[in-house]
Structure 1
Amino acid sequence: MSHFDIERPIVKLPEQQPEQQIPDEELVWTDEEQERIEERKAKYPDPKSAIMDLLWMAQEKYDYLPPEAIRLCADTLDMDYARAYGVATFYTQYYKEEKGKFVLDVCTCFSCQMMGGYDILHYLEEKLGIHKGETTDDGLFTVEEVECLGCCGSAPMMQVTNGPYVHNLTKDKVDALLDDLKDGNMPPFVSVTLPQDEDEMGGNRRSDVEATETYQTPPRSEAVK
């Protein structure tokens, strides 16, 4: 364990009565958004089931979900705030506080953990000078530790701002990614080839990818002897 990690501060509990972040006059849906909401509600037998869709819309609208944005979604569907809050806090893809321009979700679930997920997480923390859950002073990067992202075969890996995956991470690959993001360049949608498909499809089952990456045997974590 690094000296940097040992000095990690204690995480504070959230405020019981947080200060409102979004003015009341902005806590409304536009006519276009109302149309989208009605379309989403119509997909379900119970309109309250559209809460995940509405929370996503609110996050796109406000960039994150302070309590008042979650309440707007709950009130729109005539559901209890506690239920909407439970959904918003269950999924890491919903941001309950302001994040950096680029959110780096590093998977540390079992497969990624064994293959170096924590090595990558700690490398990012030390390189950026922040701990998981924190944002760099320039507002550019937020680092998060997340559960399984469903890409165990290309561990260690991360997701960038609820978007593209970055597979088979190494420290050099992290350095290159950070440089690209600083220049405003998001990574492409990459499909990792499957060995069993290489003869028939070049290893790629997708037709909508921007790039492919050849499957490779994942590494072993530095902490695993």
Structure 2
Amino acid sequence: MLVLRSSLPSPFGRKVKIAAAVLGLKDRIRMEEAHTADPSDNLRQQNPLGKIPALILEDGTVLYDSRVISEYLDHLAGGNRILPEGDARFAALRNQALADGMMDAGILLVYEKRFKPLEYRFADWQAYQTEKITRALAALEQAPPAEVTSEADLDVGTIAIACALGYLDMRFAGEWRKDHPGLVAWLDAFEAAVPVFAETKTPAAPVPENDPAPLR
């Protein structure tokens, strides 16, 4: 059996969980909680970067990160499922890159608030990360991804975008929603068409000052 090391709030882990479910591989993967801030967790031996998600194959090989794992799962499911062929592949990969960048920026903002005392935070750096998210949201609002009406419509790009928006809901109280009605409608349709999206949802949990909880 495959083993997925991740944590419940991780949007990258959620991306892999959704991919596994829609590819019919959920029953072949055991979920195992990872604690990235704990040096005694063997995650750092499994992935030298100490990051999640990490997928442990049956022969002990470890794959990371979410992009590599998603491609492996697509391969395991026969290919050309969530990673389409031809020009559509590059549109999906581009959307995934945009969404992953949003998630990276969001996580960095969470870390800044979680670990740095107020006097050591840099407003310019926080604004730099926030502006990445703002620009990405604007681009998606102007040119939204294709509507997802069933799991057959999914690709790595749409899965990643949904997870990025879900992370903004969880960690930043859904502030993005008021200025992006098109994306709100798109995400509502996605959630209705993809039941595992709701199943993998983590309750809203904006990060308080110097929160000692596990990363992500």
TM-score (norm 1): 0.27
Task: Give me the TM-score of the superposition, normalised by structure 2.
Answer: 0.28
- Structure with greater helix share of residues: 2
Q: Which has the larger radius of gyration?
A: 1
Does 1 or 2 have the higher relative contact order (CA < 8 Å, sep 6+)? 2
